[in-house]
């Protein structure tokens, strides 16, 4: 394993990373940074949370510094969701402390920053970007680097045609970097189509690198599931946690149930207006909400420091979805906990997931009682906001305080 210095990363970026507690490159960074600096096309496979964003941004920003200051877009990064677009933009801004680059974020409902020829870097969702291209509002014809992030999700969300149309507007001499959490046959076909003699990097060992996450299954029934969840939340009282549901309807229902029972929670799914979704994520990051209840799609790629617990209220479709979900905790080798709630109809899916993982999940005994409510007192300066998604009003949550807070919540 090389150091960032040995990989050719500039000292100013190394210092910035050290301040964030990052001193050693991850496997995907170690394998790809030098190749990107050499101008190679890349197809990179590495699990969620293994540092793919820095793997492509560090060499890209350094290459961009060497380019001319002509007023055209030089780097285009395509991301499948608005949340991931915003997150990548935040990482770029965190690295570009000197303000050398003009950054634009383009996604449904909003076009951030400058447009037309005033940008150096554009991070965009495919649909919204294509709309601006067709209206001749933005010109990507002269970009030198194209980055496709979360390629597997691009396919899952049906963006193949949009990506193809976008690439037709780009000159043929650009470098292409394609990154994905998984590389099945469909993703490989997609990636190879847009790269030239690519170097394929598979960081397999990190896909199942979840030893720092304690994983449990909780056997329940659909009728008892809400009480089982509330019992576990009372026992764990996590710093902050994410609760995953299968559908938007399930998210809505669970959010209402938990809020009524006195929990500090906020829902997040694609039907919520983008401006509200941004406020919700910011509120969660700022510890104004203890639990985020979300669907898989909007949570894809979200990297929030401090998430200690993941609760799979609904079982995911397979091992890939399971690893993606629990990968929201245990970041940067910190400890994490993940719980999967199952009833009888979920047992076949559980067998498939455990078979693909190569291990069985431990059972956690839970003795729930009907109508379980929040039994943890919450500190006055944390977990005290709720964003009303039907209006602009932000209201305080009325929390029923029944027990003393854990010491880690003392303020």
Domains and CATH numbers, the chain: 11-206 (3.40.50.300), 213-409 (3.40.50.300)
pLDDT confidence of 185, banded at 50, 70, 90? confident
Please indicate whether residue 149 or residue 405 has the higher confidence score (pLDDT).
149
List pLDDT tens digits, range 323-373: 888 988 887 668 899 999 999 999 999 999 998 888 899 999 999 999 999
Most confident segment among 13-22, 141-150, 380-389: 141-150
Residue 99 has a pLDDT of 87
190 has a pLDDT exceeding 80 = yes
3-state class (DSSP) for residue 411: coil
What pLDDT sits at residue 50? 77
Task: Identify whether the C-beta of residue 356 lies closer than 8 Å to the C-beta of residue 324.
Answer: no
Residues of the chain with pLDDT > 90, as a percent, come to 57
Q: Is the pLDDT of residue 224 over 70?
A: yes
Mean pLDDT of all residues belonging to the chain: 85
Q: In this predicted model, what pLDDT tens digit does every residue of 44-97 receive, in sequence order? A: 998 766 789 999 999 999 999 887 677 789 999 999 988 889 889 989 999 998
Q: Is the pLDDT of residue 403 over 70?
A: no
Average pLDDT of span 110-128: 74
**The pLDDT value given to residue 299:** 61
Neighbours of 224 (CB within 10 A): 18
Higher pLDDT: 21 or 220? It is: 220
How far apart are the C-alpha atoms of 377 and 397, rounded to whole Å?
13
pLDDT per position as a tens digit, 236-245: 999 999 999 9
Please spell the DSSP secondary structure of 158-214, one letter per residue.
T-HHHHHHHHTTS-TT-EEEEEES---HHHHHHHHHT-SSPEEEE-GGGTT--TTEE
User: How far is C-alpha 325 from the chain's CA centre?
Assistant: 9
pLDDT band at 116 (very low <50, low <70, confident <90, very high): low
pLDDT digits (tens, 9 = 90+) for 291-300: 999 998 766 6
pLDDT at 241: 95
What's the pLDDT score for residue 1? 60
Look up the pTM and report it.
Answer: 0.67
Long-range contacts of 274-278 (CB under 8 A, 24+ apart): 274/82, 274/107, 274/108, 274/109, 274/110, 275/109, 275/110, 276/387, 276/389, 277/82, 277/83, 278/86
């Amino acid at each position: 394993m090389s150091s960032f210095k040995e990989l050719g990363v500039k000292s100013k970026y190394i210092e910035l990373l050290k301040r964030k507690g990052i001193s050693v490159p991850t496997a995907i960074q170690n394998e790809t940074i030098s190749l990107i600096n050499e101008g190679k096309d890349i197809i990179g496979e590495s699990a969620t949370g293994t540092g793919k964003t820095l793997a492509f941004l560090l060499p890209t920003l350094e290459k961009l510094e060497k380019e001319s200051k002509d007023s055209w877009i030089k780097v285009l990064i395509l991301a499948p969701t608005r949340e991931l677009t915003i997150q990548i933009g935040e990482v770029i801004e965190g690295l570009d402390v000197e303000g050398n680059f003009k950054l634009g974020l383009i996604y449904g409902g909003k076009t951030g920053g400058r447009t037309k020829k005033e940008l150096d870097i554009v991070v965009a969702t495919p649909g919204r970007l294509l709309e601006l291209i067709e209206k001749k509002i933005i010109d990507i014809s002269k970009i030198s680097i194209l980055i496709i992030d979360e390629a597997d999700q691009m396919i899952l969300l049906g963006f193949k045609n949009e990506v193809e149309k976008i690439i037709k507007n780009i000159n043929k001499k650009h470098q292409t970097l394609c990154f994905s959490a998984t590389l099945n046959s469909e993703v490989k076909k997609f990636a190879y189509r847009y790269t030239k003699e690519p170097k394929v990097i598979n960081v397999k060992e990190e896909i199942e690198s979840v030893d720092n996450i304690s994983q449990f299954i909780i056997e329940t029934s659909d009728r008892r599931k809400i009480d089982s969840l509330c019992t576990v939340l009372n026992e764990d009282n996590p710093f902050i946690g994410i609760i995953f549901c299968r559908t938007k309807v399930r998210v809505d229902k669970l959010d209402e149930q938990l809020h009524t029972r006195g929990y500090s929670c906020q829902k997040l799914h694609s039907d919520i207006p983008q401006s509200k979704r941004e406020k919700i994520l910011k509120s969660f990051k700022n510890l104004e909400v203890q639990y985020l209840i979300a669907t898989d799609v909007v949570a894809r790629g979200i990297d929030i420091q401090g998430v200690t617990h993941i609760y799979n209220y609904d079982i995911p479709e397979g091992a890939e979805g399971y690893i993606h979900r629990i990968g929201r905790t245990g970041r940067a080798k910190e400890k994490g906990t993940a719980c999967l709630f199952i009833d009888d109809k979920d047992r076949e899916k559980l067998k498939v997931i455990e078979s693909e993982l190569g291990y069985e999940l431990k059972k956690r005994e839970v003795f729930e009682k009907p109508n379980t409510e929040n039994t943890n007192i919450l500190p006055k300066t944390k977990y005290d906001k709720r964003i009303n998604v039907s209006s602009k009003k932000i209201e305080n949550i009325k929390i029923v305080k029944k027990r003393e807070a854990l010491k880690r919540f003392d303020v």
